[in-house]
Structure 1
Amino acid sequence: MNNKIYLALDFPTWKEAEKFLQVHQLEHIPVKVGMELFYREGPALIEKLKEKGHPIFLDLKLHDIPTTVMRAMVNLASMEVDIVNVHATGGSEMIKRAKEGLINGSSSSPNTKLIAVTVLTSMDKAVMNKELRLSGEVEEQVVRLATLSKESGADGVVCSVHEANAIKTACGSSFLTVTPGIRLEDSKQNDQKRIATPHFAKINGADILVVGRSITKAINPRQAYDQIIKEFEHGSK
């Protein structure tokens, strides 16, 4: 995929998101639309973004019984976004049916990539072991879920940068690694724990970066966006 850096539109309304994109000259850039904004604005939001030339990652993290997810994907497929996702913990059959829904819901050859969420970047080993009762290291769990996702027809996974290389080793170089938790060196960590800089992401196997507060909370968001591209593409720090 040519689109490498997706800006997380973590705004409560389209009016606020649109104003931010316009004021900071971020027209046409790839964007991630999550649950907060999509549940407020609905499918009309996707059409507005497409009209303005934005490639879209629709981040709804579907997780339900296989038939329900398949039917939801049939509807999402008609929007023709770049990426949609499910939770890998929904299991093999759910992922397979999600892929089936994308194919059946597309009017032409489907170009939308299906990716599966492994372990959220807000979690660390302590939370995973004690609260979820999943033993072992985070990387071990992530690679297991990535392998399951690939075998079930997914095109890639959401993971932290720290697991990307291990996923490439287990699943092959063409299996996409989509990595949130990206921070410039002078950005705050906030509620994500397994984070990394764009430069570190590049050398550790990340294909696509999702960046939010490092851009939206920056003094100069356009400059921050350009800096992230520079660090990711050229290794500049």
Structure 2
Amino acid sequence: MKIADRIIVPLDVPTEEEAIALLDQLPQVTFWKVGLELFVASGPSILQELKSRQKRVFLDLKFHDIPNTVAGACRSAARYGVDLITVHATAGKDALKAAQAAVEVGAAEADQAVPQLLAITVLTSLSARSLAFELKIPLELPEYALHMALMAQECGIPGAVCSPQEVSHLRQACGDRFLLVCPGVRPAWAIAADQRRTLTPREAFEAGANYLVIGRPITTAADPGAAFQQICEESFPIA
């Protein structure tokens, strides 16, 4: 798979019109992420737009609720024919197992391929300090992220979302077939902003990431296409 196909660009804009403008600016991007802001604003029509352009879709709504509600949301989301869907690992084992069963049912009902579920381990905006002092979680952050990923894998979830700083540890523990997607990745020339646990794209791929989510360094650049191309060129793993 080409490096360009392993970089997911988020449509983190408030309207469908702005999202379509980004799609028009970046026709070379094959994989797009739709998150809460845009999906709440536009609903499934933006997913239909992406599908009509033969794009891959990461539906990043981070479902987190009781098992029955998570399952219902995953079943509905799977009907859209998206490629990736997120659910918080902290919803617990019952919710994770129900979510995996539900995407299989929803995809079958709509005659779609089964999307891959990704468990959110620890949000990349959280630091070790906030985990310990705000959330009162006694584990060290890497240990906690690994626990969340292993629990998800035990429940049949095929992948996880983690910080690039945890990806090497998760890859070693979860094996080569477990899908690892890393947001919070920043090229050396970009500002980290609200991301706390970052690596460069090349470092993240070398550590074992399957896909990277890279937004603002591309979408807010003066020339988004040139920024995307530069990141692709800089991302080839040495190892």
Using the alignment, how far apart are the partners of 1:58 and 1:137 within structure 2?
Answer: 29
Residue by residue over 1:81-106, the C-alpha shift from the partner in whole angstroms, topping out at 9 and shown as x without a partner, is 11001000001110110011101111
The question of 1:131 aligning with 2:128 is answered no
The question of 1:156 aligning with 2:159 is answered yes
The question of 1:6 aligning with 2:8 is answered yes
Q: 1:173 aligns with which of 176, 187, 209?
A: 176
Q: Is the 8 A contact 2:163 2:183 kept in 1?
A: yes
Secondary structure, aligned partner of 1:40? helix
The alpha carbon displacement at 1:109 in A equals 6.8
The alpha carbon displacement at 1:161 in A equals 0.7
What residue number does 1:20 align with?
Answer: 22
TM-score, length of structure 1 as denominator length:
0.94
Using the alignment, how far apart are the partners of 1:9 and 1:218 within structure 2?
Answer: 14
Output aligned runs, 1:202-221, within 5 Å: 202-221=205-224
Runs ≥4 residues deviating over 6 A: none
Secondary structure, aligned partner of 1:233? coil
Percent of pairs with identical residues: 38
Q: Is the 8 A contact 2:79 2:112 kept in 1?
A: no
Output aligned runs, 1:1-237, within 5 Å: 3-22=5-24, 24-26=25-27, 29-107=30-108, 108=111, 110-235=113-238
TM-score, length of structure 2 as denominator length:
0.94
Using the alignment, how far apart are the partners of 1:21 and 1:110 within structure 2?
Answer: 24
Question: Which structure 2 segments of 5+ residues have no match?
Answer: none
Higher mean C-alpha deviation, range 109-118 or range 1-10: 1-10
Measured at CA, do residues 46 and 95 of structure 1 come closer, stay the same or move farther in structure 2, by a change above 3 Å?
A: same
Using the alignment, how far apart are the partners of 2:194 and 2:29 within structure 1?
Answer: 28
Residue by residue over 1:84-131, the C-alpha shift from the partner in whole angstroms, topping out at 9 and shown as x without a partner, is 010000011101100111011113474310000000000110000000
The alpha carbon displacement at 1:136 in A equals 2.8
Measured at CA, do residues 137 and 127 of structure 1 come closer, stay the same or move farther in structure 2, by a change above 3 Å?
A: same
| C-alpha RMSD of matched pairs (Å) | 1.7
Q: Is the 8 A contact 2:104 2:114 kept in 1?
A: no
Q: How many residues are matched?
A: 235
